[in-house]
Amino acid sequence: AAAVADTDTIAAIVTGAAAGAVSIIRLSGADAVPIAQQVFQPAGGGRAAGNGWEPESHRVYYGRAVDAAGATLDEVLLLAMLEPRSYTAEDVIEVHTHGGGVSAQRVLQRCLEAGARLARPGEFTLRAFLNGRLDLSQAESVAQLIDARTVAAADSALAGLGGGLGREVQEMRRECVDLLVEMDARLDFDEDLPPLDVPALVQRVARLGQRLERTLQTARQGQLLRAGLQVALVGRPNVGKSSLLNALSGTERAIVTDIAGTTRDIVEAGIVIGGVPITLLDTAGLRDSGDLVEQIGVERSLAAARQADIVLMVVDGETGWTDGDAEIFQTVFGAGPARGERGLDSDWGSGDEGGGGEGASSSGGSEGSNGSSGSRGRAPALLVLNKCDLSVHRAQQAQQHGSSAQHESRAGSCDEAAAAAGVPAAAVAQFAAAVQTSAATKEGLEDLRSAVLQLAGAPQLASGGVGWAVNERQAEALIRAQEALQRVQASIADELPLDFWTIDLRAATLALGEVSGDDVTEEVLDSIFSRFCIGK
Ligand code: GDP
Ligand code: ZN
């Protein structure tokens, strides 16, 4: 692994690869100013490079970038941010050049000739961390902000950058250290101190455990905001899949990147639900209703469902359940129970959802119980009764939906509507919930959005409340801290000697320090920052 801390002056082009009107080269380190003095000549300044020009911090200079012989490489703006008032807390010089490529490359090359070294991925942010400008969780938030695909993901990263997560973890770590100090004192000078107040200690450890649990609960939200979801619309032609896709895409569009296993016959739309970037997979426009087309529809539905995290089976609520629906249902849902991986079943099937939840306890599936080893199983699913504006069962729903209606009764009413539309009970039971929608009037779309978030395990996102969230690395360390605290509790309960308590308390402290950056190895730092882009 590369040496984490060195005193080289580093340089990189920090603007994106896409062609723009301006590119920025950033220099950071003790030689940033001497290098700038070789590379830059301020307008109206002395003829010879480096003659007497000293940049003032937070001032912008206009002039020329020059090669070793003094020939012009570009007309540039230079911005000086001298230590400690810079991103890295070192001397930072930024040179703004014209265009996307050639000028920036030439000026960068010149900076390297003049003594800078090309920055490694994430090295500017690494220095910000090493110099105490950011704690480790803030540094990781920088990467998350850069990678954010939705406004909510950016907000969540900003909340992390604001230090909320870092403070929380540091406070928990400090509490661990305080507890350790009290115990260690007893180990060292047993006779001089009053005996440990064990009940108070037990309470403090328990409170710490609860706090860790609350922090960990943000992990699912974070994962969804970063990775998003694949949601497949399946159903026979003309039930309104494409119309639903359009109705749902009405608001914010997600930036869809790089989806593995894309099938050409499947239309993808990037949408955002509760801040979660969602790729909607729709079977491509099948208009006629010949047998062949029906058959293709079935196959495409299956293909879409196979690559999805959540499946929406759309049924025409006006015509009700047909043989065609039964065929698609059999093809897509016939093979075994839903999978419970990625925690997608977390809230459904907990038994407190009333009528609608009951289907979930059999289909939403309990984690680990979906036998068929090796096979991926199918994604959890929602039944969507579309065209409810035309459906005769709609009046019933409207009544049930009265302003103060409870979620349970709505879910119940949707199950009733499913039954009334002729959906067999055995089929209804395969879905986590049934939702009535109208792509035409937009009725029920909010219910559909929150049912998707609920099924994805992040119902709180439906209300738009986005805060900081722990990432996978942080969650892994926090779980280790939690387990260590549980061992402390067990040691206390079993009345084991005091040094058993302190061993695990020390482990918890170290695990928390891996998140805050107080106890982090060079190896971990390397792996975190190597995932950044060069220039960050
Ligand atoms: P797909 O083949 O499943 O994608 O179905 P489409 O989205 O192409 O819709 C088929 C027809 O049903 C179109 O004429 C739509 O305008 C109509 N349609 C779709 N959703 C609704 C709805 O909720 N209410 C009404 N009244 N018509 C709808
Ligand atoms: Zn369609």
What is the rounded CA–CA span in Å between residue 136 and residue 438? 47
Q: Is residue 88 part of a domain?
A: yes
Number of domains composing the chain: 3
Other Cβ atoms closer than 10 A to 382 = 23
Does residue 222 fall inside a structural domain?
Answer: no
Ligand 1 mutation pick, 233, 241, 243, max ligand atoms within 8 A of CB: 243
Q: Is residue 512 part of a domain?
A: yes
**In the listed set 94, 110, 134, which residue is the last one of a domain according to the structure?**
134
- Report pLDDT for 413: 67
| Residue at which a domain ends, from 134, 164, 192 | 134
| Residue from 233, 236, 238, 441 whose mutation best tests the ligand 1 pocket (most atoms within 8 A of CB) | 238
Distance 284 CA to ligand 2 centre (A): 6
- Claim to verify: residue 124 and residue 27 sit in the same structural domain: yes
Whether residue 510 contacts residue 518, with contact meaning beta carbons closer than 8 Å, is answered with: no
Ligand nearest to the CA of 441: 1
Q: What does the block give as tokens for 464? A: 């738009």
SS3 state at 161: helix
DSSP state of 365: -
* Residue that terminates a domain, selected from 463, 484, 503: 463
pLDDT at residue 452, as a whole number:
94
pTM for the whole structure: 0.70
What is the Cα–Cα distance from 269 to 279, expressed in whole angstroms?
6
Distance CA 137, CA 528 (A): 11
Are 62 and 173 members of one domain? Answer: no
Decide if 268 is inside a domain.
yes
Of the candidates 405, 413, 337, 393, the one whose C-alpha atom is nearest the C-alpha of residue 368 is 337
Q: Which residues of the chain have pLDDT under 50?
A: 1-3, 47-50, 251-264, 285-289, 340-375, 394-410
Sign of CA dihedral 376, 372, 419, 302: positive
Q: Whose CA is nearest to atom 9 of ligand 1?
A: 240
Model pLDDT, residue 464: 67
- 395: domain range? 228-463
Burial class (CB in 10 A: 0-12, 13-18, 19+), 111: buried
What CATH number corresponds to the domain at position 114?
A: 3.30.1360.120
- Residue 273, domain CATH: 3.40.50.300
**Other beta carbons less than 10 A from residue 228's beta carbon:** 26
Residue 292 and residue 250 in one domain: yes
Query: Are 82 and 57 within 8 A, CB to CB?
Result: yes
The domain that contains 486 carries what CATH number?
A: 1.20.120.430
Q: Which residues, in sequence order, are CB contacts of 318 under 8 Å at separation 6+?
A: 387, 390, 391, 392
How far from 356 is each of 227, 363, 413, 429, 462, CA to CA, in Å? Answer: 28, 12, 9, 9, 19
Q: Which ligand is nearest to the CA of 241?
A: 1
In order of 40, 94, 108, 395, the CA distances from 32 in angstroms are: 12, 9, 13, 73
Q: Say whether both 207 and 345 belong to one domain.
A: no
Amino acid at 535: G
Note whether 157 and 194 are same-domain residues: yes
Say if residue 150 is in the same domain as residue 60: no
Structural domain includes residue 69: yes
d(CA 536, CA 29): 15
Nearest-atom index, ligand 1, CA of 233: 3
Q: Are residues 292 and 345 in the same domain?
A: yes
Question: How many other β-carbons are positioned within 10 Å of the β-carbon of residue 211?
Answer: 15
Tokens of 138: 């803030």
- 82 in Cβ contact with 55 (< 8 Å): yes
In 217-252, which ranges are continuous DSSP H helix?
218-227, 241-248
pLDDT at 283: 66
pLDDT, position 189:
65
pLDDT of amino acid 266: 66
Report d(CA 302, CA 313) in Å as an integer.
Answer: 11
Of the candidates 50, 82, 49, 45, the residue with the CA atom closest to the CA atom of residue 62: 45
Query: What count of other Cβ atoms lies within 10 Å of the Cβ of residue 154?
Result: 18
Which stretch of DSSP H or E encloses residue 139? helix 136-147
Identity at 154, one-letter amino acid code: A
Q: Considering the domain boundaries, does residue 525 fall inside one?
A: no
Nearest CA to ligand 1 atom 19: 240
List all residues whose CB is within 6 A of at least one atom of ligand 1: 235, 237-243, 386-387, 389-390, 438-440
448 and 397 inside one domain: yes
> Is 1 a domain residue?
no
393 forms beta bridges with: none
Q: Which residues contact 420 (CB under 8 A, 6 or more apart)?
A: 392, 393, 396
Closest residue to atom 10 of ligand 1, CA basis: 238
In this structure, the residue with its CA closest to atom 20 of ligand 1 is 240
353 plus 287 within the same structural domain: yes
* CA pair distance 500, 226, nearest whole angstrom: 39
Q: Are residues 332 and 270 part of one domain?
A: yes
- What are 457's strand-pairing partners? none
Tokens 């709609």, located at residue? 394
- Expressed in angstroms and rounded, the spacing between residue 240 Cα and the centre of ligand 1 is 4
User: 156 and 292, same structural domain?
Assistant: no
For the segment 460-501, what is each residue's pLDDT rounded down to a tens digit? 776 666 789 999 999 999 999 999 999 999 999 999 988 899
- The protein residue whose alpha carbon is closest to atom 18 in ligand 1 is 240
For ligand 1, atom 22: residue with the closest CA:
387
Q: Name the residue among 382, 522, 4, 487 with its Cα closest to residue 479.
A: 487
Compute the distance between CA of residue 165 and CA of residue 234 in angstroms, rounded to an integer.
Answer: 40
**In this structure, which ligand is nearest to the CA of 288?**
1
3-state DSSP call for residue 261?
Answer: coil
**Which ligand has its closest atom nearest to the C-alpha of 314?**
1
3-state secondary structure of 36: helix
Assess: ipTM above 0.90: yes
C-beta pairs of 329-335 under 8 Å, 24+ apart in sequence: 329/427, 329/430, 331/298, 331/301, 331/302, 332/234, 332/301, 332/302, 332/305, 332/378, 333/378, 333/381, 333/427, 333/430, 335/378
- Ligand 2: distance of its center to the CA of 339 in Å? 27
One-character DSSP codes across 433-462:
EEEE--TTT-TTHHHHHHHHHHHHT-GGGG
21 CA distance to ligand 2 middle (Å): 41
Q: Is the CB of residue 11 less than 8 Å from the CB of residue 90?
A: no
Same domain, 340 and 383: yes
Q: Which atom of ligand 1 is nearest to the CA of 239?
A: 3
Query: Quick check: is 529 in a domain?
Result: no
Q: What is the rounded distance in angstroms from the CA atom of residue 8 to the CA atom of residue 111?
A: 13
